[in-house]
Amino acid sequence: MEEIISINNNRNNFNSESVTNNNNIENNNIENNNIENNNIENNNIENNNNNNINLENLSSSSSLELYNNYNNNINNSLTNLNSSLIANNIGVQVIFENISYKTENRNYKKQLKDEKKRKKKLGMERSDPTDPNPSYDVESSTPSIQTPQSRSSIIPKNSLNISKIDQSVNPQIMTNNGKIEKEITILSNVSGIIEKGEMVGLFGPSGSGKSTLLDILANRKSTGTITGKILVNGKEIGDAYKKYCSYVTQEEILLQTSTVEETLKFHADLRLPGSNEQEKWKIVEQVIKDIGLTKKAKSKIGGILPGGMMVKGLSGGEKKRVSIGCALVTNPSLVFLDEPTSGLDSLNALKVMKVLMNLTVTKGVTVICSIHQPRPEIYHLFNKIMIILKGRMIYCGNDVLNYFSSLPNQYQCPIHTNPADFILDTCHEISESDHCEEISESWETNWRDNMLAVSRIQPFNRSIEPSKTCSLLYQYKILVKRNFKDFFRNSSAYVTRLSGGFMIGLLFSACFGTLSSSQEDVLKISGILFFLIAVLNLIPFTCITLFISNREIFNSERASKIYHSLPFYLSSITTEAFIQFLVSLIVSILVYSINHLRWNFSSFFITYFILYLINLLSDLYIIAISNITGKSDLTFIYGTTISITFLLFMGHLVPVKQLPKSFGWIHWINPLYYGYATVMVSQFKDYPLECPSDFCQFPNGNDVLKFYGLEDWTISKGIGILIVWICFFFVSGYWAISKLNKEKR
């Protein structure tokens, strides 16, 4: 019980210290009001560091009852404290207002058609479409976006007021009255207040709308129709909101080869443009200390790399804390977490939640997290509970057990029962009872008066600088640095590709042997050039899983808005261009030195440069396909289909002049044809050939080019067209990564 009181003392100490600091800033003298009664001037924030949160022994029902009673008194004191702060014009408040986004139900007409068939099959008579009261609403919905009128910034360290948020999404089901609706309501008239420094647990059965509400509060909802208002310090959200609001997803999507401090430093570099290098490292060190990973600062994140290599690293709970740390580098006022304990064992889950609790106690961060069936120790870390059932708020406060006992059925929590389990069981029971609608409406009615009272509060006005962003060039620099570190640490990526290029060069050399300028070796020379281009075209297929993995990391980081898609794409292409440069160089040197192709510097350089362009081009179109599909299996299917088509119509297996007219045009849209034509010209243009007998099919290299229909081809033309194709695939890949397969929430 002493440990529980220690937690609440921490809460009082923090709020008291916050008041003292705010008084100094505003030069307000409030020693004679309610805050003086709480002995704020005598509290010292250093006491927070001496109080350790340890709830391992919190299990008996008597302790739970004492805790609930004590916590009620504490939260009542905090309510009075916040009222005093607001009265003295130093409080802060968050409200989102009139956000609207509508989307059409694309399956609406199909559902109507299927319903007609179903009723016809059952012998039921549908309503006449011309009936003034039709059974189905067939009007089309028009998407609209309402941009907030005010772009005011917000003040950090705030309280949150949510007023009647409605979230509708495209339905796949029918309503209870038999109608097929264009939209169904997932959240309806959800209201609540979240004060500064509170740790709020969002409870509810699966599918009740918890994650949807979190996404709306974090301004991450990208689909459906959102209405209602959410204010921050009495102002609408502006560009600064992303600076003071952080979101931690349920999945830990982190770069496996980076260390803990490198991961946090990466976020600090991109999200703290106004800080110098020393300040960033100081913030990183503090965050590592806050999340309890000081001893693991140099450890890699770990996990299975693309390609199957396993890197030893952090545990699941430690990775979750790193994800939380990434959200803390900007010192946010609000932290949203979607089921932070999901997939963790009970011990790691408790460690994660204690980290969050310490943030609320020592820094006043407001923590809001959805959670599913926490252990009792975790449940009692929350000082406010919000319960959503069937998309409606049925409770928001700190005395949920007494509230449930006051309901018509008088739901009582049994002795030795986890309150969290009791809440979920009661929610299921309420949802199946006749009182569900009544309870929701009763709560909304009782809440409406409180909302009216809140709406009369004068907002706290203080100018805040707009959120700064790093330049695109700086973002590119940081991303390139991370990419190259990842490349050299992922041996399965660079060793496989570089050793693959080395093996290809040796195999070609062993197969074709030492070549000469005789008639017998003409077909061998053209064959080796064909297969070199074919193999370099297929090498990027080995990296499809890497491209897809990078896309997942990009989607996660893009949702956090820490960088623009262009620097990420350019940095990825820079890394790939460097790798292809090395692979092409290794292959070209081995083949040229052993097979004895046309040996002069210009011929070697042109051949190498064309092979490099082909390798880079193939890499770019595989990246473009992976960005379009977003799936490795589809990328492989589409990529192989395109590559086989390119190889068949490249002009070697069947010379261009001999292609059937119905398909002969394909070689004009085949970039590999232009590469093959250019390397053939570099090898055979004005190249004398030896004729061992009286019959000589190719007296010189120009006759070889004429046989393949390349007598008028020029090297500059081939290089220019290849560069155009590279630009085309580059732009296609960027368009796909910036416009397609975005994270939809």
Core vs surface per residue 180-193: b (16+ CB within 10 A) or e: bbbbbbbbbbbbbb
Question: Which residue would you say has higher pLDDT here, 248 or 111?
Answer: 248
Confidence class of residue 675 from pLDDT cuts 50, 70 and 90?
very high
Q: What is the tens place of the pLDDT at every residue in 528-579?
A: 889 889 988 888 888 888 888 888 888 888 888 888 999 999 999 999 999 9
Residue 228 phi/psi, 5-degree rounding, is 120, -170
Question: For 215-224, what is the mean pLDDT?
Answer: 78
Q: What is the tens place of the pLDDT at every residue in 502-535?
A: 888 888 777 776 776 677 778 888 888 898 899 8
How far is Cα 456 from Cα 467, in angstroms, rounded to an integer?
A: 29
Q: Which DSSP helix (H) or strand (E) runs through 243? A: helix 241-244
Q: What is the tens place of the pLDDT at every residue in 599-622?
A: 788 888 998 999 999 999 999 999
How far is Cα 352 from Cα 117, in angstroms, rounded to an integer?
A: 53
The predicted structure's pLDDT at residue 568: 93
Q: What is the tens place of the pLDDT at every residue in 256-301?
A: 999 999 999 999 999 888 888 999 999 999 999 988 899 999 999 9
Instruction: Name the residue among 423, 405, 16, 488 with its Cα closest to residue 203.
Output: 423
Query: What is the secondary structure of 609-635 as a DSSP string?
Result: HHHHHHHHHHHHHHHHHHHHH--HHHH
Q: Where are the domains of the chain?
A: 2-90, 95-121+141-455, 494-739
Q: Over the chain, what is the mean pLDDT? A: 74
Burial class (CB in 10 A: 0-12, 13-18, 19+), 125: exposed
The predicted structure's pLDDT at residue 732: 94
Is it the case that residue 11 has pLDDT exceeding 70? no
Confidence class of residue 162 from pLDDT cuts 50, 70 and 90?
low
Instruction: List % helix, strand, coil for the chain (3-state, nearest 5).
Output: 55, 10, 35
Looking at residue 441, what DSSP letter applies? Answer: H
The predicted structure's pLDDT at residue 218: 82
In terms of phi and psi (left: phi > 0; alpha: psi -120 to 50; beta: otherwise), the region of 301 is alpha
Is it the case that residue 743 has pLDDT exceeding 50? yes
CATH architecture of 95-121+141-455: 3-Layer(aba) Sandwich (3.40)
Q: Residues 371, 363: contact at Cβ < 8 Å?
A: no
Instruction: Name the residue among 100, 79, 12 with its Cα closest to residue 364.
Output: 12
The predicted structure's pLDDT at residue 634: 92
Q: What is the tens place of the pLDDT at every residue in 12-71?
A: 444 444 434 433 433 343 333 333 334 433 333 333 334 333 433 333 333 344 444 444
